[in-house]
Chains A and B, each alone.
Chain A
Amino acid sequence: MSKLSLIGLGKSFGNTPAVVDVDLTLQEGEFVSLLGPSGCGKTTTLRMIAGFIKPTTGTIEMSGQVMSSPSLVVAPEKRGMSMIFQSYAIWPNMTVGQNVAFGLKLRKLPTTEINQRVDKILDTVQMLHLKERYPAELSGGQQQRVALARAIVIEPAVLLLDEPLSNLDANLREEMRTEIRRLHDAFKITTVYVTHDQAEAMVTSDRIVVMNHGRIEQVDDPVTLYTVPKTRFVAGFIGRTNFLDGRLEGNQIVFPGFTVAAEMAPDAKTLPRDASFSVRPQTIAIQRAAPTETDRIWWVQGQVTERAYLGEYWEYGVRPAGSDIRMRVSTAPNDVYQVDDAVWLGIDPARSARIPAPGKTV
């Protein structure tokens, strides 16, 4: 269990930057996810932490000791870390028991202790009864558990996970992400978890690092990340949202097709001329009757243009009158409207997040 710091970390392949200027510090025992679309640099970052890739700029330090820099890299086998790979990388020529014992044998522990620890961890991941099996005889989920056991049994300084659940089917994925969090709570190992699945990141992590185009967009706990996204990318990548891009004119904000009072906006004093907001579909109220409460909600008249029933909720597309934008609104399953219905939408500015206008950074 160690503190891990990435300082100004960068990596270019030829002239193509893969990771740019990443600063991040993990506290001892913290679980942090690197989340982003494919090609965002998250796996490259993880492999730099593991020591498989040498950075082109910046350093990686573990408990104050430099592990990687452009001039020297401590070999992966000397970092005392462990890693779970996308393919699991369970060695097919060894039994489950031998796979798990491998790291302990390298540490030259006494045989009795090795056996004890292997049995204990296999029991923890519910695989003890399959100890003598070969990996080819195991299902995907079982291989995943072996990979977890093999990585955790050495009680590594840092545990790295590279999209470990992407090869599992949906149900198993939900089960295993809870399992991973449970094991972390049991062993308190400093953990870096790479994924492109926001639900996985939100279930497992203390903090989530959202990456895009090789850069960190935002680092926050799951709740803050969802409710107060700082960039358009984060708002769009974590969950569904509506972007509202308006212009500040006097004490009003002019959106396409409707105008609202600027004073209700979050941090109204500091609104820029181009004001943009991210509004989650489930925070928008929808009703047929004209609104009564108008002092803290922005009301917009519109027309239902499409709808879809998804079991757990309805999703409606609503076009504000006089505009060509479309807003996504979701409601409870018993809240039914027809296409072409005239409706009022209520946007709660307090539950909306201010984000940079299109084409502008934070």
Chain B
Amino acid sequence: MSQSVIPTGSPTGSLRARAFDPLILLWVFLALILIFLVVNPLFRLVQSSLEEVDTGLFTLMNYVNAFSRPRYLTAMWNSIRLGAMVTVLCLIFAVPMAWAISRTDMPGKGLIRLLVLGAFITPPYLGAIGWILLAGPNSGWINRVWMSLTGLPEGLFDIYTFNGLAFVIAIYSFPFIFIFTAAALDVVSSEMEDAANVLGAGTLRTTWLITLPMVLPAIMAGAIVTFLEAIALFGTPALIAIPARFNVVTTQLLQFFSTPIRAEVAAAYAVPLLLITVVLFGLQRWMVRRRGFVALTGKGGERRITELGPWRWVMFGYSLFVMSLAVLLPYIVLAQAALSKAWGRGFTWDNITLKNFDYILFQHETAAQSVVNSFTYAAAAACIAIVLGLAIAYIVSRKLLPYAGFLSFLAMAPFVIPGIVLAIAFYSAYAPPPFALYGTATILILAFATRFLPIGFANADAAIRSINPEMEEAVRILGGGRLLAIRKVMAPLMKRSLIGAWLLVFIPATRELSSAMFLYGPNTRTMSVMLMDMSEEGNFEHLAALGFLLLIATLVIVGLATALLGRDFMLRRERQ
């Protein structure tokens, strides 16, 4: 090697050291963005709840107004009852299925998993529309079949009831508990169960006394997420509770926003929802940390599946039954309505038409625009959330600067803000001048990006942590700068996981409703908002056609992502 001229010293020449680190500027820049997206809206939310509208003077009247009327309090009580009932239903749906899939020889596991994924990616409000077609009083399919079979004048179910609402929310919320429980069961060692077996306990007793208690913290954590999801949900209550003439917190908030808009009362009314969420998430974190997975970590030894004998078919039947409630039946009736001249005329050839799609895409003034809006806003929001999440995660994981933990705290904070509260906070902060962003695409994109920033951050963080920092240091010691290391090594290695993270933001952002509902303008309707508008017209064929487009698009994207990232990419527990 000695024959060539060796450039000793640095490849880039100068040896001058720098005392000032330009990364500090990046830190400041990121902090400012996070203050704009997270801190300021929440601050304005609380501030406007404590101000007189015209004078800006301090007042508690907004809180008095928000909590003095009995029906406002009833709405709040309804939400809590609803959350509790949904959680119980979800436990009944999810825990047996999670156990059967994780620990038994139940047949058709792949199919059931696929259907759970289907329930997970179905926008809840679409499921609700499906169930209106299935169990609307008198006209719903189930009721018509029931009446024709029995000759009774009354249907079996009425979806426009409190119980109906809880049921429809539950069949799209149970995947949360399913994911938590299955993930925990997946790492319980069979040796734990063997220890009980050796001491004389049978399979069922072991499951009941050993296995389930061990995953109880995980189940509880999933239950809390479900409860919070249920009380923060907007679309399903709007479709079912409003016609049924009762309110929950979220529908009540919408009414504060109908003319005359009383945003300050809405702000006061939203603050308790925010507090409940923060406290319960704190509780959830505490539970997971305290007992959580200490007993479950480690190699876990060998895992064997429990043989159920003939009962495996019972479990399969139960799982299939739940999944047909969540996915199969609603999808069938939605498809039928979307392709019908009149959905009530049933499944006949002469009833089939494509004119509903034609109407949505080409005749309707704004429906086609709303499709475009949904996907462009979601794509923009996903890009923002990933770039921001990546920059923060990089600084945090490389410990490049002090107080980086502050950035990661802010990036994760939107996780505990219900979408509807975030929307009202954005409204308080950026609807008035000087920003005057109300109704613009900008405010929708920023709100979506903020709402899903925790997903972007958590996944970007995982992607960075999965790569040994030495990969990057090897570039630097050989003479490459930090940017070159990121470009040549980090970026290529993280490509796949970043595409996955992008999709995990993009998919929920395409169907986001609760924050859009409070921020859209005449030209910035999203598909989700459009669906709500059309549901008021009561034309279910058009509604179903639009919903069907959303569903197909989602399925295609998820299908692509699955091919790219593996089957379970959305059902993994790290997301929480």
Residues of B within 8 A of A109 (CB): 4, 7
Of residues 473 through 508 on chain B, the ones whose CB sits less than 8 Å from some CB of chain A are 473-481, 484, 488-489, 492-493
Given known pairs A108-B11, A113-B4, the reply for A87 and B470 (CB within 8 Å) is: yes
5 interchain pairs (CB within 8 A)?
A76-B473, A76-B477, A77-B480, A93-B489, A116-B4
Given known pairs A72-B17, A74-B15, A157-B8, the reply for A82 and B478 (CB within 8 Å) is: yes
Given known pairs A78-B15, A120-B1, the reply for A85 and B474 (CB within 8 Å) is: yes
B199 on interface, CB distance cutoff 8 Å: no
Q: Of the candidates A1, A50, A86, A107, which one forms a contact with B479 in the assembled complex, judged by CB atoms under 8 Å apart?
A: A107
Residues of A within 8 A of B468 (CB): 87, 89
List the B residue with the shortest CB-CB distance to A113.
B4
Complex CA gap A113/B7 in Å reads: 13
Residues of B within 8 A of A134 (CB): none
Check if B476 sits within 8 Å of A80, measured CB to CB.
no
A187 on interface, CB distance cutoff 8 Å: yes
Q: Of the candidates A73, A85, A92, A113, which one forms a contact with B473 in the assembled complex, judged by CB atoms under 8 Å apart?
A: A85
Q: Of the candidates A71, A86, A107, A116, which one forms a contact with B11 in the assembled complex, judged by CB atoms under 8 Å apart?
A: A107
Q: Whole-angstrom distance from the CB of B473 to the nearest CB of chain A?
A: 6
Check if B4 sits within 8 Å of A92, measured CB to CB.
no
Check if B479 sits within 8 Å of A77, measured CB to CB.
yes
Check if A72 sits within 8 Å of B18, measured CB to CB.
yes
Residues of B within 8 A of A73 (CB): 17
Residues of B within 8 A of A103 (CB): 11, 478-479
Q: Whole-angstrom distance from the CB of B18 to the nearest CB of chain A?
A: 7
A106 on interface, CB distance cutoff 8 Å: yes
* A-contact bits for B1-34, CB 8 A (1 contact / 0 none): 1001011111110111111000000000000000
Check if A83 sits within 8 Å of B473, measured CB to CB.
yes
Complex CA gap A187/B1 in Å reads: 9
Q: Which of B6, B476, B477, B479 has the most CB of A within 10 A?
A: B477
Main SS class of interface, B = loop
Complex CA gap A92/B477 in Å reads: 18
Residues of A within 8 A of B484 (CB): 106
A337 on interface, CB distance cutoff 8 Å: no
Residues of A within 8 A of B10 (CB): 77-80
Complex CA gap A80/B477 in Å reads: 7
Q: Whole-angstrom distance from the CB of A260 to the nearest CB of chain B?
A: 53
A contacts with B, residue count (CB < 8 A): 45
Q: Whole-angstrom distance from the CB of A161 to the nearest CB of chain B?
A: 11
What 5 A-B pairs have minimum CB-CB distances, sorted nearest first? A103-B478, A72-B17, A89-B470, A89-B474, A85-B470
Main SS class of interface, A = loop
Complex CA gap A83/B475 in Å reads: 10
B471 on interface, CB distance cutoff 8 Å: yes
Q: Of the candidates B7, B11, B477, B488, which one forms a contact with A50 in the assembled complex, judged by CB atoms under 8 Å apart?
A: B477
Q: Whole-angstrom distance from the CB of B484 to the nearest CB of chain A?
A: 8
Check if B477 sits within 8 Å of A77, measured CB to CB.
yes
* B-contact bits for A334-346, CB 8 A (1 contact / 0 none): 0000000000000
Q: Which of A78, A102, A109 has the most CB of B within 10 A?
A: A78
Complex CA gap A108/B6 in Å reads: 12
Complex CA gap A92/B12 in Å reads: 25
Q: Whole-angstrom distance from the CB of A321 to the nearest CB of chain B?
A: 50
Q: Whole-angstrom distance from the CB of B477 to the nearest CB of chain A?
A: 4
Residues of A within 8 A of B19 (CB): 71-72
Complex CA gap A76/B19 in Å reads: 14
Check if A92 sits within 8 Å of B479, measured CB to CB.
no
Check if A121 sits within 8 Å of B1, measured CB to CB.
yes
Of residues 153 through 174 on chain A, the ones whose CB sits less than 8 Å from some CB of chain B are 153-155, 157, 160
Residues of B within 8 A of A89 (CB): 468, 470-471, 473-474
* A-contact bits for B521-549, CB 8 A (1 contact / 0 none): 00000000000000000000000000000
Residues of A within 8 A of B488 (CB): 91, 102
Residues of B within 8 A of A160 (CB): 477
List the A residue with the shortest CB-CB distance to B19.
A72
A75 on interface, CB distance cutoff 8 Å: yes
Q: Whole-angstrom distance from the CB of B13 to the nearest CB of chain A?
A: 8
Residues of B within 8 A of A106 (CB): 11, 478-480, 484
A309 on interface, CB distance cutoff 8 Å: no
Residues of B within 8 A of A153 (CB): 1
A313 on interface, CB distance cutoff 8 Å: no
List the B residue with the shortest CB-CB distance to A187.
B1
